[in-house]
């Protein structure tokens, strides 16, 4: 007489999603537009996020070193204001400022068309 023994199922390790550590505090992000006239679209993004064409064509890719790793942001603003903003925060860890690959006109970025009301039939 044989009996079957059930083997305990091996639990799959749960994937722990690490939150990307931001160099900017929430208060700083709110003040960036006020102080420098800039806007961070993607912070510490992957290559695919940075080279998207669904971004404004005035966006720049900023490369810098933080916590001994090279990071990249997609940021809007003038090149001199972006330099000032990142230099004030990182000093010599700022590596490069390059053009982004966006194709959307800056005036249409984030534009939502107004909802049209139904026209009355006569």
pLDDT at 16 over 90: no
Identify the bridge partners of residue 87 per DSSP, sorted by sequence position: none
Specify if 97 maps to a domain.
yes
Specify if 35 maps to a domain.
yes
> Total structural domains in the chain?
1
Specify if 39 maps to a domain.
yes
pLDDT at 12 over 70: no
Q: What is the DSSP letter of 104?
A: B
pLDDT at 95 over 90: yes
Alpha-carbon span 65 to 70, nearest angstrom: 4
Domain span including residue 58: 26-102
Specify if 7 maps to a domain.
no
pLDDT band at 108 (very low <50, low <70, confident <90, very high): confident
pTM above 0.75, yes or no: no
Mean residue pLDDT across the chain: 83
Q: What pLDDT sits at residue 3?
A: 66
Specify if 10 maps to a domain.
no
Specify if 42 maps to a domain.
yes
Specify if 115 maps to a domain.
no
Give me the mean pLDDT over the 81-89 stretch: 93
For 62, residues 6+ apart whose C-beta sits below 8 A from its C-beta are 72, 73, 74, 75, 82, 86, 94, 96, 97
Long-range contact set of residues 20-26: C-beta below 8 Å, sequence gap at least 24: 20/44, 21/67, 23/66, 23/71, 23/89, 23/90, 24/89
Q: What pLDDT sits at residue 56?
A: 93
Identify the bridge partners of residue 63 per DSSP, sorted by sequence position: 72, 96
Specify if 32 maps to a domain.
yes
């Amino acid at each position: 007489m044989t009996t079957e023994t059930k083997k305990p199922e091996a639990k799959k390790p749960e994937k722990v999603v690490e939150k990307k550590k931001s160099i900017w505090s929430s208060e700083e992000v709110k003040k960036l537009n006020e102080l420098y006239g800039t806007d961070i679209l993607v912070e510490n993004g992957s290559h695919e996020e940075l080279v998207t064409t669904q971004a404004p064509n005035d966006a720049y890719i900023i490369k810098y070193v933080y916590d001994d790793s090279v990071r990249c942001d997609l940021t809007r603003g003038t090149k001199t204001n972006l330099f000032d903003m990142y230099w004030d925060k990182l000093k010599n860890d700022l590596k490069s400022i390059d053009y982004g690959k966006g194709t959307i006109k800056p005036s249409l970025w984030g534009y939502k068309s107004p909802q049209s009301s139904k026209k009355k039939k006569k």
